[in-house]
Structure 1
């Protein structure tokens, strides 16, 4: 059999025990002579640790395995190949076995061409997995230690707005980038959609990390609590050595705003609710059927076109619309008139900020309503069972009782879905109101303020109710 010898010794081993490459080679050649094996190549890695595969000769040997230069590889001891069971298993299973090359360790009498050697590979794989888990655990412990010490958690991918300080193992603020980070948070809290934020930055020539800004990169910044001067690892928060770019209050407000926008999306079905052209788009709900009010264009050849809001259940003449046949909403409303009502209400709050207390939203607990909903559904199920199993309940009585339970169910579901989730504190609302006369601002600025302060609007034929975003 044609074999290659692999010899390795670290500098420390050679200095302490005289475990030289020459001694290894001499013993291996004698081993080959006794078995009539031909040594076709000798690979030597002097002064290299076995804990890594980053060794020139072993790299060359693995390449030659694929070339079919020899049929077996012989080492003096198993740890000459690698001190890592994980790496040893990789070399044997993914390289040697794949190219039909035997692996023999002289000291352990380990030969992968024999049944015993193949069985040992299975045992080795168990220890390799254990080693991987131990390495993973040590890495995790190391990261926890770094987090607790306040050190930089990611020096290879530093958050935008910082530079890595290798001397102190922390982040230094990049003033130019930090200004952009602050602007992103401010714009988002001012009501701008993420798409508009990254479009404006790109148009002005402000690149992110050498690439244009995108929805993903803006969102990564808004979600990154590192900017408040902390380390976050596995859900735990630790004080960090680096200075904050934004304060904790700004970050918490941003989290609430993200949640609010997600809720608006879920309720309206509009994937871009904060890019709406009009001030109240997606905010108005029918007080009867719960459908949204949509924008329609009116006017013809002889009059200026104008927009109205109309309950979608009435406006959509689709047979699939489940609300249309029963919704009693009669009126439509001119867009400008409704917008003026809302802006005037906000102006009233600016002039009389104490009125905010009148509109404060108590924290809503949906659990009692959910329990009542479950009770009604249980009654509906029992009603059907009673009719199917006993036959004693007349069909007309069944229909009457079923309709009543269905009305109750829809009413409770509407209560749950229409109750606003507070996203602003009173102090935050007052900060938003602390601006110029809202009735005199440009339309886009008015729209931003409205969407910050108003969580929804409910309309019936004789009522118009604004639901504010203030919480206690």
Structure 2
């Protein structure tokens, strides 16, 4: 449900899901932990916080999902609260961040092409790394296309929140609502901050 939107509140890196040890009944817990918790020695295509080791802990998937669903239920009863928190200034700042990231991605693609031209990386590496960057760029371009007009945001919010109780709908529908309304979930040990996409 939170894949791709849940981030470390300390270093900004994505949180990745990890399977816990197998229990006696065969089930396993799923925990989120920071991408930078165990930095790799080899250079990765996308780096966060200069690949410095992050000392954040881990967070149980079910706890995070429950918190997010609880906030969505509260949003359902009081949508004005969230709309008032998301000012036009915040939306403009978010657009500027996304535009800057698109330029950085384009620069990385050009560097990869130059590395290939001087035989520093293989064609396979060039293609896989470039595809990853292009996917992220396209995702950002789609987000920038979303109209930030307040009245349209309110209308979209009402359309998505067309349910009685979020816990009564199936998981796939919950996931759709989460991905429609939430831009990022920043997780700290003692707090979870939700940045709305409305």
Contact map agreement 2:13 2:36 (CA 8 A) in 1: yes
Alignment of 1:67-86 (within 5 A): none
Q: Name the counterpart of 2:159.
A: 431
TM-score using structure 1 length: 0.27
Q: Name the counterpart of 1:287.
A: 9
Distance 1:351 1:284 in 2: 24
Contact map agreement 2:34 2:54 (CA 8 A) in 1: no
SS at the partner of 1:346?
Answer: helix
Say which structure, 1 or 2, has more relative contact order (CA 8 Å, 6+ apart): 2
Alignment of 1:247-326 (within 5 A): 279-302=1-24, 304-315=27-38, 317-320=40-43, 323=49, 326=52
Distance 1:436 1:421 in 2: 30
Unaligned runs of 5+ in 2: 101-139, 147-151
Match of 1:354 among 70, 73, 80: 80
CA distance 1:422–1:336, shift in 2 (3 Å): farther
Q: Name the counterpart of 2:181.
A: 453
Contact map agreement 1:359 1:468 (CA 8 A) in 2: no
Distance 2:80 2:30 in 1: 34
Higher radius of gyration, 1 or 2:
1
CA apart distance, 1:422: 8.7
CA apart distance, 1:318: 4.4
CA apart distance, 1:361: 4.1
TM-score using structure 2 length: 0.61
1:462 and 2:190 equivalent? yes
Unaligned runs of 5+ in 1: 1-278, 371-416
Distance 1:430 1:343 in 2: 17
Contact map agreement 1:361 1:422 (CA 8 A) in 2: no
Q: Name the counterpart of 1:165.
A: none
Contact map agreement 1:288 1:327 (CA 8 A) in 2: no
Deviations 1:340-367 (CA, angstroms, capped at 9, x unpaired): 1111101001122332333324231439
Distance 2:186 2:144 in 1: 15
Deviation beyond 6 Å, 4+ runs, structure 1: none
Alignment of 1:6-45 (within 5 A): none
Alignment of 1:138-177 (within 5 A): none
Aligned length: 143
SS at the partner of 1:313?
Answer: coil
Q: Name the counterpart of 2:125.
A: none
Distance 1:426 1:449 in 2: 15
